[in-house]
Amino acid sequence: MLILLSNDDGVYSEGIRALAAKLQGLAKVVVAAPDREQSASSHSITLHRPLRIVEVKKNFYGVSGTPTDCITLGINEILKRKPDLIISGINRGANLGDDVHYSGTVSAAMEGAIMGVPAMAVSLVTREDHPRYAVAANFATKLAKGIRKHGLPKGVVLNVNVPSMAGKKIKGYQFCTLGKRNYSEAIVDKIDPRGKKYYWIGGDEVGSDNIPGSDCNAVLAGYISITPLNVNVTDYPFLEQIRNWKI
């Protein structure tokens, strides 16, 4: 079994190294990850500048681009064939609810699915100084075995969020829908040394909607959430309605 790992925290992040080490007994593992942090880069690709690949150590490659670039180069240049599985993570911080639209971690997995490779994204729900990556790595390894056994439908990605707590305290796992996280609308504007205004975007999380069966509710209750995402975002029920429109 050949597994390609990526993330948006960068090739030097603790999370991806913990995951790579745990997976060694299951498969051959190759890492292709950004050479610097690319959080919230979503599904962007680099079109207007050249990209470089640097071998950081054996089977660890840093790419001067986005997580999506890493998957493209990982499959076509580093591996030169499709892997059996792509895992993106372990992300430091949750990717719950609407986060999936902004997350480079999730987008790396989505790019894998677009390219026809089973994929999952793994995030650790934490803001701690010393995150418990081992707990998430252990579960990701078990889930990788499950994917190898059962397979995934074409175009489907599993988005996994693991509470940062001792393994024995986690109540189990739940298969969930996406929830709804809420953030304060924080835009800070300042003046730079040259007298020009600049803006810094970034609101704090202020909780989540109480949606039964959602990933937010599951994690809040002490469960690992597993949400299947589809790269085909067509709204089929509404498509049938809109066909009756007269414009």
Specify the pLDDT at position 176: 97
User: Which sequence spans correspond to the domains of the chain?
Assistant: 2-180+210-233
To the question of pTM greater than 0.85 for the whole model, the response is yes
Q: Which residues have C-beta within 8 Å of that of residue 37, sequence separation ≥ 6?
A: 8, 9, 10, 13
At the topology level of CATH, where does 2-180+210-233 sit?
Answer: Stationary-phase Survival Protein Sure Homolog; Chain: A, (3.40.1210)
pLDDT tens, residue order, the chain (247 aa):
999 999 999 999 999 999 999 999 899 999 999 999 999 999 999 999 999 999 999 999 999 999 999 999 999 999 989 999 999 999 999 999 999 999 999 999 999 999 999 999 999 998 787 899 999 999 999 999 999 999 999 999 999 999 988 878 999 999 999 999 887 777 889 999 999 999 988 767 778 899 999 999 999 999 999 999 999 999 999 999 999 999 9
Q: Which residues have C-beta within 8 Å of that of residue 144, sequence separation ≥ 6?
A: 3, 23, 26, 27, 85, 87, 120
Q: Give the whole-angstrom CA distance, residue 18 versus residue 139.
A: 12
Specify the pLDDT at position 16: 98
- Report CA 35 to chain centroid distance, whole Å: 17
- Report CA 223 to chain centroid distance, whole Å: 18
